[in-house]
Structure 1
Amino acid sequence: MEGKVTVSRQEPVLHMDTNARRNFIKFHAKLGEKPSTTVRFFDQTDCYTVHGSDDTELVAKIVYKSTAYVHPLMPDDKKEGLQFVAMSKGNFELAVRELLLVRNLRVEVYVKRTEWQLEYRGSPGNLLQFEDILFANKEVLVGNSIISLQVKLVAGQQRRVGVAAVEQNDCLFQLLEFLDDDFFTELEATIVLLGPKECLLPQLEGEYASVKTVLERNGVMVTVPKKSSNDDLLQDLNRLLRFAKGQQEEANGLKELQMVLAAEALRVAIKYLDLVNDAGNLGHYELKQLDLKRFVHLDSAAVAALNIMPKPGTHPSQPSYRWQSILGVLDHCRTPQGHRLMAQWVKQPLRSLSLLNDRHNIVQCLLESPDTLDLLSLDYLKRIPDILMLTKKLMRRKATLQDLFRIYQVILRTPKILKALLELEHATVQSVLCDPFKSFLEDLTGLKQMVEQVVDFEGIERSEYLVKASFDSRLMELQETMSELYSKMERLQSKCNEELDLDGKQQAKLENVAKLGYHFRITLKDDSILRKNKNYRIVDVIKGGVRFTSDKLESYAEEFASCRTRYEEQQQSIVEEIIQVAVGYAAPLTSLNNELAQLDCLVSFAAAARSAPTPYIRPQMLEEGSGRLVLEDVRHPCLELQEHVSFIANSVDFEKDVCNMFIITGPNMGGKSTYIRSVGTAVLMAHVGAFVPCSKAIISMVDSILGRVGASDNIIKGLSTFMVEMIETSGIIRTATDKSLVIIDELGRGTSTYEGCGIAWSIAEHLAKETKCFTLFATHFHEITKLADNLSTVKNCHMAAVADTTNFTLLYQVKPGCMEKSFGIQVARLANFPEHVVQNAQEVYHEFEDEHAEKQTKADKELLDKIQEAIEQLSTAGNNTEINEEDLTQLVTQFAHDIKQLDSDYFKSVVATASDG
């Protein structure tokens, strides 16, 4: 999408006579209710309309930023009318882009033939019919993926899930099958990994109801397509797949299709997207098995907690994009394909040490060669168009000679990129980047030679994309006529400069634009000279100057345009042949596109590391299970990019069997959440191949990054804050291993204090004793800090603050040990609460504190008396020779039970009292 979209407030008029209004209202009523996720547009020839209260309000806000443009469409009998909003074609396209790409809604467009009928339909995962509207002359910065699911119950509580993912931009099918629990934990990780816009389910009942909940929680639109069992998957794949040279062109033997559920899901997806009926897809798709073990497991809670992705609709050109998310921090890409790949990389952190070392090696090499980094980022990559979109136009036979020439320019520019990389003389750069570039350029040699033989390069200098006249005698005649006319226009240009007394840089320029044809242009300040001369007339005034013409120039321009139209008609068959040949180069073009995207991402990592307020450093990556995580002076990359923020760095040091958990206490607003997020963010960045915001980083590779930070109500899905918290935390407990990183913030706040504390304690204890993963546990339940007394691998730390009777200062520094207070009242004072409210809070706090202490003292005394009594009974029984063994056992059991009811502090008191006695 474009960074800035101009909204026209010019509202078109809907022309409908009485009969047409009546018929349209009847037709609209017959359509009946539609899903709330669908918006219907109606092509009224001279404008577009939407109808009904929901659609009109939504579209009016998108297009006009106001609901004042909603009007009633009244029938002739003045009965209840139908609301509508009218919009121009440009505003219709703006609305469609917003609905499909940002709001993830479906769009239907109805057109009037003899009767109204549905002409186009699109959804977030199926943009084919709207590609010209969405992506014509625009950068495609979003992926276009859809998944299809099949679920089958197996033994016990497990479900077998088959997934087929279709990435239409990359012409890629990915299949996988896995066993999952009743919470669909693995499916959620797959959704995070693939980032689909839409998911196809066979139904919404039974197991699929739970699947639907998971999908909607992750912002994925759910569709139940019409059932069709007549489609032959093998037949469709034989037509769609691109088989390798020498490979038997038969899908029947492909090992991926042994995954029966996934294969059925793929059949449904191919039918829903109608891929076979688009000639541009035939012979271009690739089929792969997706291996989840290649990537670090991320759940949706971690994606939200670490602010990995920006808000929907945020464009890289917006100033806030850079510091809103981790993607924004790292995305300094120069190409659309780079932007798309970067969004994929941050959601797919790697678990391969060799691949990560390759990425880190290349980033380090680029940082050590700043001139080459600048040359690639600021010059070469900036000139690379979206090869993937150009290739798709080729495959759909919609490409023009201009598109072909843009591809040719890429083939010309890539050797310069290759030369710059080779001069680095770096082994990893050579193997990962240079060797593939060489291979793809060799494969594209034929395409380069064809363009040079066929395209008229002299015409391109005049912004005309034509076939060389030498290909056809009729073309030669038209070319000679056009050359002669152009020479005449150039002579008129010279005459114009003499008549207007223009010289040097101020001379009139001969230009050609689509709507005006050939004309002259001078600067705005020479406007007065032009108006005095009656031989010329102004046709347009723009920021760049005044456009004008003369009778003779207009005559030549019209004749030239006529010749050019005939030339283009004559060359059409030749162009079609050229495009047909160019389609055969789709595979190496796609590979070149992917290689340039990878280079763009690695250059972007280097640019991000260098441009940070404090430059990032290379992390030392260790094998999984090494049990070390050391981050010195770790900073949060988003926060430090914000103006007027002076970030205070902190450190973390985990070592297997020495320390695997930090329990962090401290005042509200003291920086606990920022600290734990900084650690999670640094580990994620290291696993995507970027450098990290630290002064030193030793990171054992993790198998998952799991988080629960800042849960809130989810009213739409009927979930309370506490329920959201419990769902996220249960996923952590089920997924985490001793190789995981877990960050938890303020667990247990959504219920009563004692219940919340109990839940938080048990989860912390489980992670520390059983799972033994790296854990950062921020809490206001100070009782949990006592875990460190019993478990040597648990350490306490706190966010330092200084307070006295009048002043309160947050230091944002992590210090050893726990903090006994949360300083909530002092933070309220910092937030400028009225002083009388703060004083009242202080008084109520002291009352509760005194009351609690009094009750506690009383309870302690009663319980101690009870224990003393039990001790005396045991002592008496022990001296009584007549008591039987059963009674004695019962007394001991009762005593043990009473002891277990005591906190450790109580037990110490009992022991002390008994000793005194």
Structure 2
Amino acid sequence: MSSANKEDIPDIDNSEQRSFIKSYRSLGDAEEGTLRFFERDANQKRYYSVHGDDAHYIAHQIYKTTSVIKYWGGEDGLATTNIGSQATESFLRDALLNKQLKVEIWTSNRGSWQLSRKASPGNLQEVEDLLFLNSNMSTSPVVMAVKLGNSTDSKMVGVSFSDANVKEIGVSEFIDNELYSNFESLVIQLGVKECIIPQNDAGKDYEMIKLKGVLERCKIVVTERRRGDYNTKDIEQDLNRLLEGEISITALPEYEMKNAMASCACLLKYLSLLEDESNFKHYKLKNHDLSQYMRLDASALNALNLMPSPQEGSNKTMSLYGLLNKCKTAQGSRLLVQWLKQPLLNIQEIHRRQDLLEMFYENTELRQSAQEDHLKTVPDLHRLAKRFQKGIATLQDVVRVYQVVIRLPALITCLEAQEPEDENKAKLLIDTYTSNIDDYSNKLTKLQDLVETTIDLDAVANHEFIIKPDFDPDLQEIREKITNTSNQIDTEHRRVGSKLGLDTEKKLKLERHSMYGYCFRVTRTDASAIRNKPEFIEYSTQKNGAYFATNRMKELGNLWSDLSKKYDRRQSDLVKEVITIVATYGPVLELLGGVLAHLDVIVSLAHVSIMAPTPYVRPQVYESGDIVLRDSRHPCLEMQDDVVFIPNDIEMIKDKSEFQIITGPNMGGKSTFIRQTGVIALLAQIGCFVPCSEASIGIFDCILARVGAGDSQLKGVSTFMAEMLETATILKTATPNSLIIIDELGRGTSTYDGFGLAWAISEHIATKIRAFCLFATHFHELTALAETVQHVKNLNVAVHMGDNGASLTLLYKVMEGVCDQSFGIHVAELAHFPASVVRLAKRKAAELEDVDPVDSHHVKKQATAETEV
């Protein structure tokens, strides 16, 4: 059973149970995909209860047993499971960030239950401080609203999105095709966690059904809102209140995006941004240009294994993000996610990132010092700035900011000491990091002075965060009075000890009791010394002794208590003043956080590139051109335990070998070969080095993929239909500058239908689209396409057959030419199928080949004739 059940959670009496059941049932059903938690308090400990179906879900997810479920109101009553606060917070993090659930937290006010907090994967604002106080938030909770235009001629899509971490509202408006592939690319680029769409009344809006299908394929939580929420009547004044600067929104070109503005109105209402005055004049508006980044769809995201899956567990190198994320800061980890989903199309920016990475790649001392001595200690400055802005920061947060500020000069010195000899690279390092950090450090000097003047830094070493007594005359005066009173209490302690003849160290204890305040305690044995003496005021006798005081001690104790309260009030006033001043540095802290995040990602990529089993190399990246990779490897697979990776060359030359058909046995490495090409192309366009001995790559506008055979049966989509939807997206969106990866197309239907589709799709890509394409297949007849299209090239993964074909050895080496066998039965033998099954399989396969052989020459002639027609 989970340790969550070990927390001391009391039972609730029957009358309270009955009262709660009545209240609970009056709430009605929660929105689909929403868990309700009821916050409770007992013995000064917070815990939560969940009820009904939620109780069963929590029992299985946290405790792994139904034995923790109790039934309030009898066996047929309300199912209930209690959870401790720590277990709840841990579960909620996972539920919101990974399981795509929504959450409501209810609290009781004089017996009446009220919704106090709610959260969804894209809107964590109300629970951030509950869930991420002691842990980093390495993902960005981006929430988007979308509205479709009314035009019948074209599909106009308007969106608005927000990432509360960076105080930005983004808008975009664009024309899309009937598959909404541009919209799919946008949500992937932005890493959207939740999308708000207008309610589809009675399911009549066919376009909204298609849009919802795209979101579900991308595993994005869908929230429906009333169409009235998209009303733009107040959008002008609302944005003018939120956006920084004095320029009216009506003067900006974004205001003309009518569908995007309608989406923005819905988004502001959903996030309740206007209800929190601390948001006013703190937001920026940006127009997201879909065309400035490589486009990726959900299929490519899965094919390239870009982000971790829930199954990845502790093996962090199974996904590209897990492999590359050696970031030391939360903001760095978030930026890395953004880079992976937004590969660059701008060659100057790619070269700039490569130059920066190369400096840290070549200079071990600079790289290690930046990571271990400087970045490792940097907190999440974006979240800290937000806490100050919302007015919930503490003196501890001030100290955390101060500790960053005082370390900046050492980071600047580190960067300056290791500047490269190449003047251009040295200037790039200065312009990107050194000068910016130095500028922000200078702007934060007064903050440093403020902290050193006001906060007792000696007390911080004992985890005590207070204002220095000598900072404020009133505070100092009260402190002196408290000290004087404490001395008089000590004097009274010694006097009473002397009068009773008791040792003040061992026999007569001076204590601060929660009920009696300052008082004395003697053992029960010595209690007779104070009995029947009017000078002593007896309080109580307990197991650990007798408590008493004198009139003088009572006066001094009350005085000390009053002074302490006065001191705390003055402390609190001064703390508020300090926090208010530090909050004005929020914009500088966010800018500093952005620079340090950029540095963190570059250093992380350099670390992975140099520390790989075989170090990565800097690829030559061109505006457009061929792919030439020498000794290329899959970066994630080569890191797996017990794997000796066999590298392969990849050459895709325009007009010569831009379309490649790869045949060979199952498990021979076809899928790895085509996927590693996509991964290397993506790495090159985020500015990273690549796992090759030599690399030359042109920039791709998108990577499109059709791999795997994943059913979506719960959504009513078969394997074959899912395959066709993904392929349709490829045919609709690919350009001559795209990279297409297709693995085993046509497996989900009959052999002849599958082959016919595979041939038609291949020929269309090869002759009409002319994109770079890697096509792995078991349809060996497809290799005949190379005889009719000159830039189609056939490759195969090599195998070694033993004597008489009795054994099969997979060599994982890609060679030119055609493999005319699939070796499926041999692979079945490797899986230890029963010998009788293998013999029958071989006999039936031979019979089918004899009955209906497929003549590749006939296929070629027929395809040519159809093309001519």
Q: TM-score range by the shorter chain?
A: 0.7 to 0.9
1:127 to 118, 124, 127: 124
**Superposed CA RMSD:** 2.9
Distance 1:557 1:567 in 2: 15
Shift in CA distance, 578/13, structure 1 to aligned 2, threshold 3 Å: closer
For 1:262, the aligned partner's letter is A
Within-5 A mapping of 1:265-304: 265-304=263-302
Distance 2:31 2:765 in 1: 44
SS at match of 2:240: helix
TM-superposed CA distance for 1:249, in Å, is 4.4
Of 298-307 and 450-459, deviating more is: 450-459
Distance 2:232 2:719 in 1: 46
Instruction: Provide the identity percentage.
Output: 38
Within-5 A mapping of 1:510-549: none
Aligned to 1:537: none
Shift in CA distance, 557/319, structure 1 to aligned 2, threshold 3 Å: farther
1:387 to 371, 376, 381: 381
Distance 1:564 1:345 in 2: 53
Aligned to 2:810: 810
Unaligned runs of 5+ in 2: 421-425, 490-513, 515-546, 548-552, 865-869
Within-5 A mapping of 1:24-423: 24-46=20-42, 47-52=47-52, 54-74=53-73, 80-114=76-110, 115-156=112-153, 158-204=154-200, 205=203, 206=205, 207-226=207-226, 227-228=228-229, 229=231, 232-243=234-245, 248-312=246-310, 319-321=314-316, 323-423=317-417
Query: For residues 581-620 of structure 1, what are the alpha-carbon distances to aligned partners after superposition, in whole Å with 9 as ceiling and x for unaligned?
Result: 2222111110100110000000000000011111111011
Distance 1:594 1:842 in 2: 62
Shift in CA distance, 816/487, structure 1 to aligned 2, threshold 3 Å: farther
Distance 1:126 1:219 in 2: 16
TM-superposed CA distance for 1:903, in Å, is 4.2
TM-superposed CA distance for 1:275, in Å, is 0.7
Aligned to 2:763: 765
Query: For residues 179-218 of structure 1, what are the alpha-carbon distances to aligned partners after superposition, in whole Å with 9 as ceiling and x for unaligned?
Result: 0112111100011011111111122241212111111111
Aligned to 1:839: 839
Within-5 A mapping of 1:784-795: 784-795=782-793
TM-superposed CA distance for 1:557, in Å, is 14
Determine if contact 1:466/1:568 at 8 Å carries over to the other structure.
Answer: no
Distance 2:739 2:669 in 1: 19
TM-superposed CA distance for 1:230, in Å, is 8.3
Distance 1:485 1:374 in 2: 53
Of 562-571 and 724-733, deviating more is: 562-571
Shift in CA distance, 611/574, structure 1 to aligned 2, threshold 3 Å: same
For 2:256, the aligned partner's letter is Q
Shift in CA distance, 103/253, structure 1 to aligned 2, threshold 3 Å: same
Query: For residues 522-560 of structure 1, what are the alpha-carbon distances to aligned partners after superposition, in whole Å with 9 as ceiling and x for unaligned?
Result: xxxxxxxxxxxxxxxxxxxxxxxxxxxxx9xxx999999
Q: Establish whether residue 23 from structure 1 lines up as the match of residue 19 from structure 2.
A: yes
For 2:315, the aligned partner's letter is S
TM-score when normalising by structure 1: 0.81
Query: For residues 375-430 of structure 1, what are the alpha-carbon distances to aligned partners after superposition, in whole Å with 9 as ceiling and x for unaligned?
Result: 01122110111111111110111111221111111112122222222231422212
Distance 1:488 1:8 in 2: 48
2:670 to 672, 687, 704: 672
Distance 2:561 2:376 in 1: 34
Shift in CA distance, 252/72, structure 1 to aligned 2, threshold 3 Å: same
Distance 2:314 2:411 in 1: 29
TM-score when normalising by structure 2: 0.86
Shift in CA distance, 203/127, structure 1 to aligned 2, threshold 3 Å: same
Distance 2:801 2:392 in 1: 70
Aligned to 1:879: none
For 2:806, the aligned partner's letter is T
TM-superposed CA distance for 1:479, in Å, is 4.3
For 1:451, the aligned partner's letter is V
Determine if contact 1:798/1:816 at 8 Å carries over to the other structure.
Answer: yes
Within-5 A mapping of 1:450-849: 450-480=450-480, 567-623=567-623, 626-804=624-802, 805-849=805-849
Shift in CA distance, 907/644, structure 1 to aligned 2, threshold 3 Å: closer
Distance 1:752 1:662 in 2: 24
For 2:394, the aligned partner's letter is T
For 2:376, the aligned partner's letter is K
Shift in CA distance, 350/903, structure 1 to aligned 2, threshold 3 Å: closer
SS at match of 1:169: coil
TM-superposed CA distance for 1:17, in Å, is 3.6
SS at match of 2:126: helix
Determine if contact 2:5/2:84 at 8 Å carries over to the other structure.
Answer: no
SS at match of 1:173: strand
Shift in CA distance, 277/632, structure 1 to aligned 2, threshold 3 Å: same
Shift in CA distance, 638/18, structure 1 to aligned 2, threshold 3 Å: same
Unaligned runs of 5+ in 1: 490-514, 516-550, 861-900, 909-917
TM-superposed CA distance for 1:562, in Å, is 9.3
Shift in CA distance, 559/231, structure 1 to aligned 2, threshold 3 Å: farther
TM-superposed CA distance for 1:241, in Å, is 1.4
Shift in CA distance, 786/454, structure 1 to aligned 2, threshold 3 Å: same
SS at match of 1:67: coil
TM-superposed CA distance for 1:566, in Å, is 5.0
Determine if contact 2:194/2:221 at 8 Å carries over to the other structure.
Answer: yes
Distance 1:440 1:221 in 2: 38
Determine if contact 1:634/1:650 at 8 Å carries over to the other structure.
Answer: yes
Shift in CA distance, 585/828, structure 1 to aligned 2, threshold 3 Å: same
Shift in CA distance, 188/485, structure 1 to aligned 2, threshold 3 Å: farther
Distance 2:481 2:777 in 1: 83
SS at match of 1:324: coil
Shift in CA distance, 313/572, structure 1 to aligned 2, threshold 3 Å: farther
Determine if contact 2:5/2:83 at 8 Å carries over to the other structure.
Answer: no
For 1:130, the aligned partner's letter is V
Shift in CA distance, 278/905, structure 1 to aligned 2, threshold 3 Å: closer
Determine if contact 1:63/1:94 at 8 Å carries over to the other structure.
Answer: no
Distance 1:435 1:280 in 2: 31
Determine if contact 1:11/1:86 at 8 Å carries over to the other structure.
Answer: no
TM-superposed CA distance for 1:905, in Å, is 6.2
SS at match of 2:387: helix
Determine if contact 2:9/2:84 at 8 Å carries over to the other structure.
Answer: no
Determine if contact 1:302/1:706 at 8 Å carries over to the other structure.
Answer: yes
For 1:108, the aligned partner's letter is E
Distance 1:307 1:850 in 2: 41
